[in-house]
Chain A
Amino acid sequence: MNTNINPFQQLYFSDDTQTEDTFVALFSDKVLQTAIHPVFQGGNVVLCGTQGCGKTMILNLLRPEIRLAYSKCDRRSEFPVPKEMRCFVSAGINLTRSGITDLVQVTLGKDEDTDARELPRYFADFFNYLVVDDLLNSVKLIGAHPQVFDSLVDLSNIKSFVSCIAEQDCWFGSLASATTLPELQQLISSRIQFYRGWVNGNHTHTEPPREIRTQKSGIGEPIARMAECLRKQGVVREDVPVLIRVDQIEEMHRAFTDRQRRLLLEFRRTINRAFARRDARIHYRGGARPYGWNNPEFLTIAGSAARLENRRDYLLIDMDEELFARRETPNSIFEPFALDAFQKRIGYFFKVEEGQLRPTLAKSVFGKHPSPTERLGALSEDPSDAQIDKALALDVAADTLEWSQGWRIFLRNLYRTGHAGMLDAALATAWGRQTGGANKKREHRESPPPDEAPWRDRKWWRKERTDLAVLQLMVRNQQRFIWWGYKDICSLSGGNITVFLHICHRIWDGFLKSESTKPENERTDLLKGATIDRNIQAAGVLFASNEWFKKLPEEPGGHSRQSFVEQLGVRLNEDMMRDLRMAYPGGNGISVPSAKYLSEDDDVSALRNFIRESVGFGVFVEIEHSSKSRSQGRRTKFYFNPILCPRFQIPEARTKEPYYWTLSELFALAKKANVTLVRSRRDRTDSHFSEAVLPGVEEFFE
C-alpha cells in the first residue's frame, strides 16, 4: 500500500470543467439515486442543503460534459441516471460565477427608484442570454457526440432552427439578423459581452445603448422559446425535457447597503417569476443553501404579491433532512453514501478496481466504535481514594450534601472493579444525588447504598446518562472524551459527506505519519483489512474538529459565528461538567420557546437570522420539538454540528431534552460573543454619499 497518498486531501470537486473525470470516478451513483430521480423528471425542483452536502454534484449530472466524461471513462462507470431518464437537454447559470449579480454595481444615473425598477429588467435579459448561450453550447456538444447521446440532438435542421428562433418576438428584434448558428451565437455573445463590460464599469455612459434599452427580454421567455424552437425544428425530440440549472441562489442575499439589498431582492423575485410560470417547455433546477431559500421574503414573485409554493411551483428536496436525516429520524442513506464515497476515493487514488477492494472498507479501516467502558480505557485501574473521590466529584463545593462514609466506601469499591465499575460508580453517584421524582425532597444518598443497583437496571435512565458519565469521568481525570471507529466517525459527520471526508483526511494523515517511521516490512496495509490505531483515530478526530472550528471564519460572517460557537461550546461543557445529578444529560444542546423565537420583533428577527444563517453554514442543527410541559407549547432546539463536539468536549449523541433557555439567555450569549446582529446600525453610510454635493459624481451621472 502506498503510504504517501492521502486520498481525502481534496474535499471539494467543484463544477470546474477540469474535474469531470474525477467526478466520474468519485460520484456515488447508486446511493444517491433517491436524490437523482426527481431532478430528471418534470416540473421545477430545488435542491436545498448545507454547504458540502452534494447539491452541486447532483446538479452537475445535468451537464453534458459530465455525461461525456462518463463515456470516455475506462473504469466502466455508467452514467448514473436510469436509461429512461437520460433523454434531456440542460443548460444553466451559476449566479456567483456568472457575475450577473454585479448588476448592483451599476446605476442608470437617475435615482435609486429608477434603478430598482429598471435594473431587474436588465437582470432578466442578462439571465436569458447567459442561459440560451449555454443551451446552444450544450445542444452543439450533444449533437457532436451521437455515439454518447444517441439521437438526442439532430443538428441537421439547425439552420431552420436559427430562422425560427431569430424571428421570435421575445427578442424584440435583437437576433433578427442571424441566419446561421455562428451568427446567432455571435449576437448572443455580443449581448453578454455588453453586460460584462457594463458591470465592469467599462462603459462611459451610465445608461445602456438604445438597442439594449429597447430590446430587453422578459425573464425565462426566450429560454422557453428556444426550447420550443429546438423541438419544433426537430433539433431535439418533442418529448425531450429542457432542464435549466440555477445554482447558488443564496448568493442573491448577500448585501451591505439598503440599495444592494433592495436590488438583489428584486433580482431574486425576477428569478422566482421564472419558476412561478410553471412553463411546460422548460423546467428549472435550483440549488440553494437553506438560508437562501427558507426565508418567506425571498420567495415573493416579481410583479405579484404571491409567493413561490412548494409542491405547486417547485418540488423542494431538503438534502439535509430528507436524504441524510440530520434530524432525529434514523439515518436513511448517509451511511451507505459515506461507505461508497470512502470506497470510491480509495479505488481512485490507489488505482484499484472497486470490485477488487474489500467491501465496506471504511468499516475495517476504522474498526468498531468503542463501548462506553472502552472510552474509559485511559483511566488508571489502580486509583487512590483521593483520585476516586475527585473522579466522582464527591467533595466539590457545589455539592449540597456530604457523602456518608458508607457511600464513599461503596462507591470506591465499585470504582475499583474496572472500567465498567468506574462507569457504574459515576452513575451511582448521580443516582445518589437524585431524589427519584420532582415532588420528592430526600436524596437517595441520605439512605445507605441500596443492595440492588437501580442505576444499572433502569435501561433508559442509564442509557441517557452514559455519555455524560464518561465525559465527567474523563475530564475529572485530566483525560479527553475520545472518539474512534467507523460508527463514531459517521456520527460526528452529522450527515454531511464533506465533514466525513474531512475527518477521514485527518485520520489518514495521522496514519501516514505513524507509518513513515516504520520499516517497510512492518507497515500496515489498510487495503487488506488492517485497522488504524484507535489513538491515531482519536487524535485525527480532535484535529479535524479543531480545524473545522478554525475554518469557520473562511465563510462570510464566520468570525461572529466562530465567537458564538466558542462561547456556547465552553458554556455547554461547563454546564455538563457541573451537572452533578446528571439531571440534564441532553445538555449538549439548547432549546428556546418557538413562539418567542419566531417573533417578528426586530431584535429577535436579527438573532433568528444569525442563527439560521449559522444553520445554513452547517454550524448548528435547528429542530422544532414539543416541550416537556404541554402548557409551554412548541420549542426550537439547537445542537452543534457534531464535528464541533470534540473541540468542546461535548458528547454528540442527542439522548434527552436539551437545556431550556430563555431568549434573553441567547441574546446575552450573543452579546458576550460580540456578535453583530444588526449590520445596519451604522446609519451614516450610503445616504451621506447620495446627499453630498460632489461635482465629480454629478458629472459621472451626466
Chain B
Amino acid sequence: MSYRPWGPLNWIISLDGMKEWQFIGVIGTEERSLCAWKLLQEGGLLQKACFTEIQDAYSEKYSGQSDLAMISRRSEFESAGGNVAEIVIMPLMAELYKLQGISARATSAGKSIVLDITCFPKRFFFPILQSLVGDPRVENLILTYTSPEGYAPEGESLYEDIEPWRTLPGFQGDIAVKATWIVSVGFLVESLHGYANDNQHEGMKVLIPFPAPLAALRRTWKAVVELEKDSELKRFEKFRVDALDMSAAFDRIVSLAGKPEKPLAFAPFGPKPTAAAMCLYSIQKNASVHYAQPTVYHPAYSRGIRNSSPEEAVTAYWVKHSSKSLYAI
C-alpha cells in the first residue's frame, strides 16, 4: 500500500517543489468555489486555470438568485486575478465528450494538475478524474476539496427536480455482473430511499461519514434513518469513514471488495472525498456508479468556508505523483 499524503493544501503542495500547476475548477454560486484557486493563486503556484461555470436547469424559483450570485462571484474572480473570458459555460447535463474536453484543456497546458472537486457535480468530476488518472501526460495530480461553514437552512431543499437513478456518464461498468452495493450517504436522501425501497432484496454496505463536519452531521444521520425506514435492518451494513479521509475511504472500499474481489457497484450520495475514492476504485475495476442527478441546485447550497479560514477549509489529496498512481490496486 502506498503512502497517500492528504491534508492542508499548503502542506500538500510543499511536499513537491513544483510551481507550475494547472488548475481545473468550477466557479459557482457558493463562496467556497474559488477558495482553493485563490490559495494557489496567492502562492504563485498556478500556470493556468481552467474554470467552468456549470448552469443547472432554468428554475423560476432559483435562477434569478443564482444569476445574481454568479455576477458577484465573477467579480470576485476578476479581483483575484482571474480572467472571466476564459471561463467555459456548460450545462449541468452536458454530454460526456464535453466533460472529457475539460480535462483535455488542462492536460494540453501542462503535466501537473490540481482538480478542485468542491463544486463539480459528480457527473462532471467522475469522468474528468477518470481522464486525468488515465492520461499518461498527467504526471502529478492533486485533488482539492473545500469544506463550507454550513449548508442551506434545513427547511430548504438543497436541490430540486432529480433525474432518475442512472449510471454516471462513463461509469456504466459491467452491467452483466451481480455486484455488491457500496453506498455513501448524506444527500439526496429521497432518491436513495426510493431505490432501496424498490429493490428490497439488495443488501447495501453503507459508508457513513463520521467524523464529519458539524454542518453535514444532521443530514447524514437523517439520511441513514430515512434509508433504513421500511427495510430490514440487516440489509444495511454500516461502516464509518471520515468524511474528509479519501485514503481511508478507498481502503475501506478495497477491503469491502474482499479477496478474491467481488464486483462492486457504487452509489455516491455522501461527501465528495468519499465519492472520489469510489471513482478511483471504479476506474480501475470497471465498477458501475449510480446516481440520481438533481437538475436544479439551491443558489446558497452551502455558505461560507469552514472556520472562515481558507487554510483550514481546503483539504488536498495527492493522487498521482511522478506518474505513479497512489491509489493503484
Does A201 belong to the interface (CB within 8 Å)?
A: yes
Measured in the bound complex, the distance between the Cα atoms of B63 and A365 in whole Å is 50
Contact B172 A685 (CB under 8 A): no
Residues of B within 8 A of A96 (CB): 164, 166
Within 8 A of B (CB), among A117-147: none
Cβ proximity bits B92-111 to A, threshold 8 Å, 1 near / 0 not:
11111110111111111100
Given contacts A200-B170, A682-B63, contact A689 B164 (CB under 8 A): no
Bound-complex Cα distance A513 to B201 (A):
24
Interface size counted on chain B using CB atoms at 8 A: 58
A694's contact among B93, B101, B231, by CB below 8 Å, is which? Answer: B101
A695 engages B55 (CB within 8 Å)? no
Cα–Cα distance between A12 and B50 once the two chains are bound (Å): 45
Cβ of A671 within 8 Å of any chain B Cβ, yes or no, is yes
Binds B, one of A70-78, A450-458, A557-565: A557-565
With an 8 Å Cβ cutoff, the count of chain A residues facing the other chain is 60
| A199 interfacial contact with B, CB 8 Å | yes
Q: Kindly identify which residue among A196, A259, A557, A558 contacts B95, using a CB–CB cutoff of 8 Å.
A: A259
When distances are taken between beta carbons in the complex, the residues of chain B under 8 Å from A630 are none
Scan A2-36; emit 1 where CB is below 8 A from any B CB, else 0: 00000001111010101100000000000000000
**Interface 0/1 of A515-559, CB less than 8 Å to B:** 000000000000000000000000000000000001101111111
Interface SS, B side = mixed
Within 8 A of B (CB), among A644-702: 671, 674-682, 684-686, 688-689, 692, 694-697, 699-700
- Contact flags (1/0) for B158-193 with A, using CB distance below 8 Å? 001111101101111001000000000000001101
Task: Provide the residues of chain A in CB contact with B89, threshold 8 Å.
Answer: 684-685, 688-689
B95 adjacent to A104 (CB under 8 Å): yes
Whether the Cβ atoms of A554 and B191 lie closer than 8 Å is: yes
- Cβ B97 vs Cβ A685 within 8 A: no
Partner among A206, A557, A678, A694 whose Cβ is within 8 Å of the Cβ of B88: A694
Of A251, A554, A694, which is in contact with the most chain B CB atoms at under 10 Å from its CB? A554
- A579 an interface residue at 8 Å Cβ cutoff? no
Query: Which residues of B are found within 8 Å of A682, using beta-carbon distances?
Result: 55, 57-58, 63
Tell me the bound Cα distance from A334 to B127 in angstroms. Answer: 47
Q: Does B170 lie within 8 Å of A201, measured CB to CB?
A: yes
Contacts of B197 in A (CB 8 A): 10-11
In this assembly, does A257 line the interface, its C-beta being within 8 Å of a C-beta of chain B?
yes
Against B, the Cβ 8 Å flags (1 = close, 0 = not) of A158-177 are 00000000000000000000
Contacts of A254 in B (CB 8 A): 163-164
In the complex, chain A residues whose CB is within 8 Å of the CB of B162: 553-556, 558-559
Contact in complex: B105, A676 (CB < 8 Å): no
Chain A neighbourhood of B194, CB < 8 A: 551, 554
**Beyond A679-B58, A685-B55, A700-B104, is A105–B91 a contact (Cβ under 8 Å)?**
no
- Minimal Cβ-Cβ distance residue in A for B160: A559
- B96 and A678 contact, CB distance less than 8 A: no
Minimum CB–CB distance for A203 against chain B, Å: 11
- In this complex, what residue of A is CB-closest to B63? A682
Question: Scoring A residues 86 to 108 as 1 if CB is less than 8 Å from chain B, else 0, what string do you get?
Answer: 00000000001101001011110
Question: Are A676 and B60 interface neighbours, CB within 8 A?
Answer: yes
Most buried by A among B60, B92, B106, B130: B60
In the bound complex, how far is the Cα of B56 from the Cα of A680, in angstroms?
11
**In contact, A256 and B161 (Cβ under 8 angstroms):** no
Q: State A330–B201 Cα separation when bound (angstroms).
A: 38
Given A9, A107, A259, A676, which contacts B61 in the complex, CB threshold below 8 Å?
A676
Q: Given contacts A97-B175, A558-B162, A700-B104, are A105 and B95 in contact (CB under 8 A)?
A: yes
Q: Which residue of B lies closest to A193 (CB)?
A: B174
Q: Are B190 and A689 in contact (CB under 8 A)?
A: no
Most B Cβ at <10 Å: residue of A97, A259, A559: A559
Shortest CB distance A173–B (Å): 27
Do B88 and A692 touch across chains, with their CB atoms under 8 A apart?
yes
B190 and A556 form a contact (CB under 8 A)? no
Q: If the complex has contacts A105-B169, A206-B97, A694-B88, are A19 and B201 also in contact, measured as CB distance less than 8 A? A: yes
Q: Is B16 an interface residue (CB 8 A)?
A: no
Q: Does A641 contact B (CB under 8 A)?
A: no
Is B190 a contact partner of A99 (Cβ separation < 8 A)? no
For A554, list chain B residues within 8 Å (CB).
Answer: 162, 190-191, 193-194
Query: In whole angstroms, what is the CA distance A654 to B33 when docked?
Result: 52
Q: A12's contact among B96, B105, B198, B296, by CB below 8 Å, is which?
A: B198
Let me know if B295 is at the binding interface, CB within 8 A. yes
Query: Considering the chains assembled together, what is the distance between the CA atoms of A7 and B256 in angstroms?
Result: 32
Interface-central residue, A201, A671, A694, by most chain B CB under 10 Å: A201
Contact A681 B58 (CB under 8 A): yes
Q: Closest chain B residue to A560 by CB distance?
A: B161
Q: Does A493 contact B (CB under 8 A)?
A: no
Partner of B169, one of A102, A559, A686: A102
Given contacts A201-B127, A554-B193, A559-B157, 5 further A-B contacts (CB under 8 A): A10-B200, A559-B160, A559-B161, A696-B102, A699-B108
Q: Mind listing 16 A-B residue pairs with CB under 8 Å?
A: A9-B200, A9-B231, A14-B198, A97-B175, A201-B127, A254-B163, A553-B190, A555-B162, A555-B164, A556-B161, A559-B161, A682-B57, A688-B89, A696-B106, A697-B98, A697-B101
